[in-house]
Structure 1
Amino acid sequence: MAEEYRAKVFKSGNSVALRLPKGLGLKEGTEVLLREEHGEYRFEPIDKPKRKIDLTGIWGAIPDLKLIAPEDRLFEERELNWGPFDERD
C-alpha cells in the first residue's frame, strides 16, 4: 500500500500554496509539474536543463578581452595546392 501524507493549503500573497512534508524527499527549489485529472492532483519533478554560464556580468572586467566582429572573421579566398595529386598540372 502507498504511503499517505497530510499537507495543508495556505494563503501566500494572492495565491494559495501547498506545504509538502519533508518525508516525500523533495529538495528545496525543485520544480514540479502539476496535473489535475478528474479532480485528482498529481505532481512530478521536472528535470532542469543544464545551466549555461552567463558572462555578461563580468563584461569589461578583463581589459584585454576583445570581441571579434563578424566582418573580421571573413577569410580571403586562395587557391589550394594539393601537391602531386593536383590534376591541373
Structure 2
Amino acid sequence: MAEEYRAKVFKSGNSVALRLPKALGFAEGTEMRIVREEQAGFRIEPLQTQKRKIDLTGIAGSLPDLQPSAAEARVFDDKPRVWDDPDWTGWKAIL
C-alpha cells in the first residue's frame, strides 16, 4: 500500500505554492517537474539535473605566459582603516 501525505496549497506572491512534507525527503531547492495527467490528476517528480561544469579547454592554451601565483604572493597586508583609529571622530556619529 502506498504512503499517503497531505499538503496545503497557499498563496505565495502572485502564484500559488504547494508545501511538501519534510517526510518525503526532498532537499531545499530541489527542482520539480509537475505533469498534469487527464485521468490521474497531477504527477510531481524531482528533476535529475546534472551539475554544471565549466569547460576551460578552449582558453587553457591561449595564455601561455600565465602562471599560478605563489602562496606568498597571495598574502595581503591589512590596510589601515579610518575606524581602526581610536581618535577617529566618526565614532560619535555612529554611536
State the distance in 2 between where 1:54 and 1:25 align: 32
- Answer yes or no: is 1:5 the counterpart of 2:29: no
- Where in structure 2 are the equivalents of 1:20-35 lying within 5 Å? 20-35=20-35
State the distance in 2 between where 1:6 and 1:25 align: 15
**What corresponds to 2:53 in structure 1?**
52
Q: Percent identity?
A: 70
User: Which runs of no fewer than 5 residues in structure 2 stay unpaired?
Assistant: 57-64, 67-95
Q: Please give the secondary structure, in 2, of the residue aligned with 1:23.
A: helix
Normalised by the length of structure 2, the TM-score is: 0.53
Normalised by the length of structure 1, the TM-score is: 0.56
Please tell me the root mean square deviation across aligned C-alpha atoms, in Å: 2.0
State the distance in 2 between where 1:48 and 1:41 align: 21
Over alpha carbons, which structure has the higher Rg? 1
State the distance in 1 between where 2:8 and 2:55 align: 38
